[in-house]
Amino acid sequence: YVPSALCCPSRASILTGKYPHNHHVVNNTLEGNCSSKSWQKIQEPNTFPALLKSMCGYQTFFAGKYLNEYGAEDAGGVSHVPPGWSFWYALEKNSKYYNYTLSVNGKARRHGENYSVDYLTDVLANMSLDFLEYKSNFEPFFMMISTPAPHSPWTAAPQYKNSFQNVSAPRNSNFNIHGKNKHWLIRQAKTPMTNSSIQFLDDAYRKRWQTLLSVDDLVEKLVKKLENHGELDNTYIFYTSDNGFHTGQFSLPIDKRQLYEFDIKVPLLVRGPGIKPNQTNKMLVANIDLGPTILDIAGYDLNKTQMDGMSLLPLLRGDKNVTWRSDFLVEYQGEGYNGSDPTCPGLGPGVTHCFPDCVCEDSYNNTYACVRTMSTSWDLQYCEFDDREVFVEVYNLTADPHQINNIAKTIDQEILEKMNYRLMMLQSCSGATCRTPGVFDPGYRFDPRLMFSNHGIRARRFSTRSLSSI
């Protein structure tokens, strides 16, 4: 799972091992701390690659999309190379496949639109293979390869543009239905969707798959290179993404940012020494765990970090009697325009990312926090919005895996109060306090005196001020 279903906050969580309220990256803008001067000063020196290089003697390699605002002139441009990287090949700004600029160890290199030399996924593959070929054999190595694919604009390589012609977006039970009893932003989606919207999202889904075929090629080449060098059996490989994506669920055409499983759940595949093949682990894992895991593999003492996540190494190795979390925090700060969205002026101010038929995917008060719980007795999600209603959504995913029925008004009041209190605890947690027992764990302690017992759900305001100066 990801604690925030958006590129920059999620990538910041991977790099720092922290929840968004601790790394302060809240959206994809400089004002939201995405690759800002504040991020560079406070967070970048403490990322796990910085520790790998400075404390563990690793040679480190980065290639691809870093953070959405990386390369912005107001934050040092492409000459800024974050601490912790021996070799740096970073994309300026957001996802592209052609006509982009790379920072090559701090120097700008412009690419055009010639497939054989410029298609970004293949360029990243070739630079990665070169690193493996010429790196030092006397130091351990770490590589982070961050392909924009399958992000928009979904430009497939020429040989893959006709693939998956019969593929369409999944038609689960929450596809193209009204999001009743949900936050107003979900309820405003037009149901049923128009044929043009459905064609648009099916086309997007197909093109995303097409772009991933080049990622498959990249992975295959890297694995073969490691095998040929005799290093595959001594190398851990992690394959994951920074957020999920919806295509038509609750009549939302395409995007991420929402609190539901389709946006916060991502693939995670791992191979490496001591990991048995063909096994699936159902423990509750978040991307804040990737940094601690990689540092643990490198032999670094995790007690010396301020990370909120946990090392997955015991789970990966199949250790017995591992004590693991039963819940984690999801948090997001909505984005909106002060003026009307230019594509949908009739909707008024405060919304953004409006897709075909003026269905908007985000707004200022699409600001929420959730506790996602998976225990032996409950598979539950509890969410609160920072809006005038203090709107609450609760889902029992055992009975309702596609999160169609909001049970906030029918679930037991005691569970609501416990989840509300747990949410407050997680929203203010840091480091070890983010790993305390969840509501349904044997070690959980709940003091109802901390609640406003006569006033139902306890409301509190989220931070909505600019974080760029923190």
At CB < 8 A and 24+ separation, what contacts does 352-355 make?
353/255, 353/257, 355/197, 355/200, 355/253, 355/254, 355/255
Torsion, Cα of 432, 438, 441, 443 (10° steps): 50
153 CA to centre of own chain: 19
Task: State the sign of the Cα–Cα–Cα–Cα dihedral 214, 215, 220, 223.
Answer: positive
The question of whether 7 is a catalytic residue gets the answer yes
Using CA atoms, how far apart are residues 426 and 116, in angstroms rounded to an integer? Answer: 49
Q: Look up residue 314 and give its two tokens.
A: 């015991």
Q: Look up residue 423 and give its two tokens.
A: 């949410």
Q: Look up residue 221 and give its two tokens.
A: 């080449």
Q: Among 88, 125, 257, which Cα is nearest to 186's? A: 257
Amino acid at 42: I
| Cβ pair 322, 313 in contact under 8 A | no
Q: Which of 7, 8, 370, 383 is catalytic?
A: 7
Using CA atoms, how far apart are residues 37 and 30, in angstroms rounded to an integer? Answer: 9
Amino acid at 6: L
| Cβ pair 8, 34 in contact under 8 A | yes
Using CA atoms, how far apart are residues 173 and 196, in angstroms rounded to an integer? Answer: 20
Contacts of 195 (CB under 8 A, 6+ apart): none
Q: Look up residue 177 and give its two tokens.
A: 């239905």
End-to-end CA distance of the chain: 27
Q: Look up residue 273 and give its two tokens.
A: 């020494």
| Cβ pair 123, 218 in contact under 8 A | no
Q: How many CB atoms lie within 10 A of CB 234?
A: 10
Task: Give the phi and the psi of residue 348 in degrees, each rounded to 5.
Answer: 85, 180
Contacts of 53 (CB under 8 A, 6+ apart): 59, 60, 83, 84, 85, 86
Q: Look up residue 334 and give its two tokens.
A: 């909505």
Using CA atoms, how far apart are residues 390 and 384, in angstroms rounded to an integer? Answer: 6
Q: Is 57 left (phi over 0), alpha (psi -120 to 50) or beta?
A: left
Q: Which residues are catalytic?
A: 7
